[in-house]
Amino acid sequence: MAFTRLHLKKFRLFNDELFRFTEGVNLILGKNGSGKTSLLESIEILFNGASFRSRDTKDCIKHGYESFLISANGNLKDLKYSLQVKKSQNSKISASRKLLDKSTKKGELIFLQLVLAKNLKMIEGEPELRREHLNQIMFHVEPALKRLENKYQKALKQRNRCLKKNLPESEIALWTSEVADLGLELSLKQYHFFKIYRESLKNFINEVTDKGIFEFLKGMDISFSKGWERSNKLKTSLLESLDRDRALGYTSKGPHRMDFTFTLNKKNAANQLSRGQSKILILLSFLSNLILLKHLKGSETLLLIDDLSSELDQENLAQILKEILEIKSQIILTGIEGTEMHASIKNLSNFTQINL
């Protein structure tokens, strides 16, 4: 699989630029403000139709112009695909995604993983970051779970509406039963997938630390929280928290509150690791996902990592680059041009460097 060509016209600071990528690792180097993150943003818009930087893709149009155009080509299992997205100031975004000249929906070509600044807070940050991370992989592997999640969210929305309006307990009870039934089914599926994710990541971390690198990650594990008391059935927990939920105006227990915690030797990793060490763990978890997705789904994944060198000293940067180069998948990295980055890559090979 290879994402081979990217053409940007009037996108962010780019006027009319063509970029070529190769299979394996592609490293984009440039100074701050040179457009590194914008390149990754354009790739996400191509594949997913959305930007991780702006709610409105109109913001991506180069100042003083009326529209932007992004186009790309690549190969997927020896089949050619093409992508094109256009956005004008006064019209909706339009997209064309084709495999062998036949239209495909977004998300059907390649699974896109992004490591952005927000992901660096995944270990110590809000549960939403970890849920989003696990759900993205889980729903890609098992699309039926996304449909189950949607049903659960609709029932949850109705229960929350009843709670906010302080409706009679009899009316709330109808939605409590619906939330409990769907929520239990969803939670069991979440936990089943979590165990697969956990085993894959633990094995990958063990393989890495056995090489004598990143030894601060020895004893890494992940613990699961289903979103309500472990000793209770979900319906019991919902009934017991009814008065609290009325006061809050929303449902405080259920699989929508699912979370997991990284640990080191049974202690919270957030309290044990430095920022640089936390970033190494996060990057390794994304690399592990590439292997997991290939095994479970046989799917091709394009991994985008923004600002690789931030928070990392030269030794850890050089070591994580070596691990990235060993992964058999296409990866596009960005990094700030400078002494540390150049020192880390000078003895490495088998990657493509793009300078902005």
Instruction: Give the mean model confidence (pLDDT) for residues 83-110.
Output: 89
* Rounded CA separation 308/28 (Å): 10
Write the pLDDT tens digit of every residue in 101-130.
Answer: 888 887 778 899 999 999 989 999 999 999
Which residue bears the tokens 């070596």?
322
Write the pLDDT tens digit of every residue in 173-183.
Answer: 999 999 999 99
What pLDDT, on a 0 to 100 scale, did the predictor assign at position 1?
63
Cβ neighbours of 166 (radius 10 Å):
10
What pLDDT, on a 0 to 100 scale, did the predictor assign at position 263?
97
CB 153 within 8 A of CB 135: no
Average pLDDT, the chain: 93
- In degrees, rounded to 5, the angle at the alpha carbon of residue 319 between the alpha carbons of residues 325 and 355 is 60
Cβ neighbours of 30 (radius 10 Å):
17
Instruction: Give the mean model confidence (pLDDT) for residues 128-137.
Output: 95
Indicate the pLDDT class of residue 297, thresholds 50, 70 and 90: confident
Q: Which of 86, 24, 99, 106 is nearest to 321 (CA)?
A: 24
| Beta strand residue intervals within 265-348, DSSP E | 267-268, 301-305, 330-336
Instruction: Give the mean model confidence (pLDDT) for residues 183-190.
Output: 97
What pLDDT, on a 0 to 100 scale, did the predictor assign at position 123?
95
* Rounded CA separation 22/32 (Å): 24
Please tell me the least confidently modeled range out of 67-76, 329-338, 340-349: 340-349
Write the pLDDT tens digit of every residue in 302-328.
Answer: 999 999 999 999 899 999 999 999 998
Distance of CA 142 to the CA centre of its chain: 16
Question: Which domains are assigned to the chain?
Answer: 2-110+300-355 (3.40.50.300), 127-271 (1.20.1050.90)
Helix (H) or strand (E) holding 342: helix 339-345
Contacts 24+ apart (CB under 8 A), 220-223: 220/262, 220/263, 220/264, 220/269, 220/281, 221/262, 221/263, 221/264, 221/266, 222/194, 222/197, 222/198, 222/260, 222/261, 222/262, 222/263, 223/260, 223/261, 223/263
